[in-house]
Amino acid sequence: MTASQAGSVPHGATAVRPQWADLPEPLRDRIAERLGGGVVATASQGSGFTPGFASRLVHGGSGGTERAFVKAVSADRSPAIADSYRAEARIAARIPSSAPVPALRWTLEEFDWVVLCFDDVPGRPPARPWKPEELTDVLTALTSLAEVMTPAPQGLVVPQARDWLAQDFGYWGRLARASGADGSPVDPQIAELAGLEAAAPEALAGDSVVHCDLRDDNVIVGDDGRVWFCDWNWPSRGPAWLDLVTVLISACGDGYDASALLSAHPLGEDVDGDAVDAVLAGLAGYFADSSLQPAVSGSPYLRAHQAWYAQATLSWLALRRGWVG
């Protein structure tokens, strides 16, 4: 699938988020107190696929106005997202300052809301379809990120990617078993996908801390040209090339030669091709299965996004496995 076929996902405008005025007044007052001055301007962020509050706030300070980025979610209405925010707070506090990651300033949990405040990085997410220069800048920044995160920084404790991602990697195996339950032969491509998927946990072994959910809406291209990686909700210990592969899935979907970019990259030049294929098969199954689930009221574009990623991942894998000319 190319970018021209992805029109159902309005990049940069996928989220349905509460505005500053929608937050409970006591919570707004508490946030302003922690910021050190009243909020005088806000800019809600339109990217992402969760219904949490995410806004750049301009607030009063000792020398005039200052800026911060604040995200917040109701633990009562969105308990799973609240848990992911809590996990992000624990991790962000221990990411080395040398990493290209916005610094966590403070957190609070009051009035049934979980709130995280970060340094505001002036900039924006990369354009989609990917622009060549922005894609190059993001891929280059991934090398810097991996240098800081490999081996895992001391005190930064995260789960193994092979443990928790493997829980989501079973779609092709289930499909193969279901299609052959009556004794019918299993489609050879489905059988190959199931075999690759089964090898994914071993392929995910590694000693780097990886983002594990890296895509364009979790990236900021700063006004000064520096690239930042944000929204560390699912960090894991795994191979340093994993984040590179997840970024390249969208590049493949936008018409780039992802395999050439992978082999030319410092994190991908010596990678085991079968390991990459195994992870791509697992991810393709996860995206395909997720896209078939019921719609999410607070995230109207989530299923279309997942369907697009399933097709983009399968397209790249098909090229790598020789399933297409």
DSSP 218: G
Q: Residue 181's pLDDT is what?
A: 83
Burial letters 125-147, b for 16+ CB under 10 A, else e:
bbebbbeeebbebbbebbeebbe
Cα 75 off chain centre by = 21
Query: Has residue 262 got a pLDDT over 50?
Result: yes
DSSP H or E stretch at residue 20: none
| Residue 289: CB atoms within 10 Å | 18
Domain 3-118 has CATH 3.40.190.10: no
Encode 156-199 in three state secondary structure: CCCCEHHHHHHHHCCHHHHHHHHHCCCCCCCCHHHHHHHHHHHC
208-256 pLDDT, tens digit each: 999 999 999 999 999 999 999 999 999 999 999 999 999 999 999 999 9
Query: Has residue 150 got a pLDDT over 90?
Result: yes
Residue 13 pLDDT class (50, 70, 90 cuts): confident
Average pLDDT of span 16-30: 95
Q: Residue 3's pLDDT is what?
A: 38
Average pLDDT of span 157-170: 88
Average pLDDT of span 74-95: 94
What is the per-residue DSSP string for 137-162? HHHHHHHHHHHHHSSPPTT----BHH
Cα 110 off chain centre by = 27
Q: Give Cα separations from 213 to 23, 47, 66, 252 (angstroms).
A: 27, 14, 30, 17
Over its C-alpha atoms, the chain yields an Rg (Å, rounded) of 20
Q: Residue 1's pLDDT is what?
A: 35
Q: Residue 325's pLDDT is what?
A: 52
Q: How far apart are CA 21 and CA 103, in angstroms?
A: 25
Which amino acid does the sequence have at 82? A
DSSP H or E stretch at residue 262: helix 258-264
Q: Residue 222's pLDDT is what?
A: 97
Residue 4 pLDDT class (50, 70, 90 cuts): very low
DSSP H or E stretch at residue 222: strand 219-222
Residue 296 pLDDT class (50, 70, 90 cuts): confident
Q: Residue 10's pLDDT is what?
A: 82
What percent of the chain shows pLDDT beyond 70? 98
Average pLDDT of span 1-23: 71
CATH number of the domain located at residue range(s) 123-321 in this protein:
3.90.1200.10
Query: Has residue 124 got a pLDDT over 50?
Result: yes
Average pLDDT of span 267-284: 97
Is the pTM higher than 0.85? The answer reads yes
Q: Which residues contact 200 (CB under 8 A, 6 or more apart)?
A: 162, 165, 166, 169, 278, 279, 281, 282
Grouping H, G, I as helix, E, B as strand and the rest as coil, residue 95 is coil
Query: Has residue 258 got a pLDDT over 60?
Result: yes
184 touches 150 (CB < 8 A): no
Work out the mean pLDDT of the chain and round it to a whole number: 93
169-188 pLDDT, tens digit each: 999 999 999 988 888 888 99
Altogether, the residues listed in the chain come to a count of: 325
Query: Has residue 2 got a pLDDT over 50?
Result: no
Where do the domains of the chain lie?
3-118, 123-321
Average pLDDT of span 16-28: 94
Q: How far apart are CA 275 and CA 200, in angstroms?
A: 7
